[in-house]
Amino acid sequence: MFGMYQQKQIVVEMKNINITVFWMLILFLSSCANDKIPSLARPTQAIGMINHATIVADKTIWEGFVGDSLRNNMEAPYPILPQPEPTFNIQHFTAQMLQEDPNKRHLKTMIFLADLSDTNSLTTSEVKAAIGAENVLRAKEDPKFSSVVGRDKWARGQLIIYVFGFGEQQLAQNIARNYPAIAKRIKAIYAEMLDAQTYVRGHHRSLTDKIKSKFEVAVDLPADYQLAIEDDNFMWLRKETKVLSSNIMLYKIPYAEKEQLSNEGLKSIRNELGKKYIATTIEGTYMKMNDIDLPVFYKNKTLNNNFTIEARGIWDIKNDYMGGPFLSYLIHNPDKSELLYVDGFVHAPGQKKRNYMQHLELIFASIKF
């Protein structure tokens, strides 16, 4: 009996010791909270919609010619859509608005505009603190040094671009000079989000294999596209939702003469396929390229080491009221003396179409012989 009681007493004492140690540890951590917790806390994930950017600038800067310079670039029309849509959606905050609402600092893409000669500007004070005194001095001595890029300052996955100059005139010039690099960085920060949206339902492995077998080309196809029509050297793939019809056509032909690999050659192929395969329920309808109401933009490029002609424009249906944007690639495969024509077109009445076209661009970028 005594031995059992002593054993129970030892167990109780050990429990009391454990509880004491636990509370001592809590008190120790509490006393060190100011030193330890900030370094252990995980920062908030940056938030923001694709192609959106927040401009932080003084009101006078934003409403003057400096703001106009940035808006003229960032809000330039995305090529080419039936109704104009900006390349980027932008919103403006002042530095004071960020101080009053710290949650605004968690936005994914932020561009600070600062006139470093303005000693009364809160924005300028923040930019100087962010880039450091050495860089402020460098900017004064070298006008070409006009921007600094930061990452994850207030949130994970965040991009912050500081554009500055001494005087508003120099700041406007620096915005124009830096814009191509700014646009490239914004697109890069949203690349993962664009990929996730495009392949939200995964990858269509079986249809990808079918395309590879038929055209000897690899393309990373989203799972929500289905085969609509297949012919000898032709495929039409469709993705259908309540608000969107997104379509991809693939067509392979022998390459016999230079005239085929031209702007007119691309136009001829598109109109030929549209007339043969694409129509509505109304008799006598067919798809055609509309280069009357809006111009078609052509450019030469290299796609995965293959010469490619790119065309962007709008399509419509002859004898019916339907239309939308298209993106076409005419790709030369010298190893096979063939041309691969790939076309993506969208029908989404009443919807903004810029992001839908970017999904097609991403799919097309994966094409490899």
Q: Which CATH class is domain 201-365?
A: alpha beta
Where are the chain's structural domains?
52-189, 201-365
Q: Which CATH number fits domain 52-189: 3.30.460, 3.40.50, 1.10.10, 3.30.379?
A: 3.30.379
pLDDT at 19: 45
Global pTM reads: 0.85
pLDDT at 289: 98
Q: Encode the chain in three state secondary structure.
A: CHHHHHHHHHHHHHHHHHHHHHHHHHHHHHHCHHHHHHHHCCCCECECCCCEEEEECCHHHHHCHHHHHHHHHHCCECCCCCCCCECCEEEEECHHHHHHCHHHHHECEEEEEEECCCCCCHHHHHHHHHHCHHHHHHHHHCCCCCEEEEECCCCECCEEEEEEECCHHHHHHHHHHHHHHHHHHHHHHCHHHHHHHHCCCCECHHHHHHHHHHHCCECCCECCCEEEEEECCEEEEEEECCCCEEEEEEEEEECCCHHHCCHHHHHHHHHHHHHHHCCCCCCCCEEEEECCCCCCEEEEEEECCEEEEEEEEEEEEECCCCEEEEEEEEEEECCCCEEEEEEEEEECCCCCCHHHHHHHHHHHHCCEC
pLDDT at 40: 36
Q: What is the pLDDT along the chain (369 residues), one digit of tens a residue?
A: 333 333 334 343 444 444 444 444 443 333 333 333 333 344 799 999 999 999 999 999 999 999 999 999 999 999 999 999 999 999 999 999 999 999 999 999 999 999 999 999 999 999 999 999 999 999 999 989 999 999 999 999 999 999 999 999 999 999 999 999 999 999 999 999 999 999 999 999 999 999 999 999 999 999 999 999 999 999 999 999 999 999 999 999 999 999 999 999 999 999 999 999 999 999 999 999 999 999 999 999 999 999 999 999 999 999 999 999 999 999 999 999 999 999 999 999 999 999 999 999 999 999 999
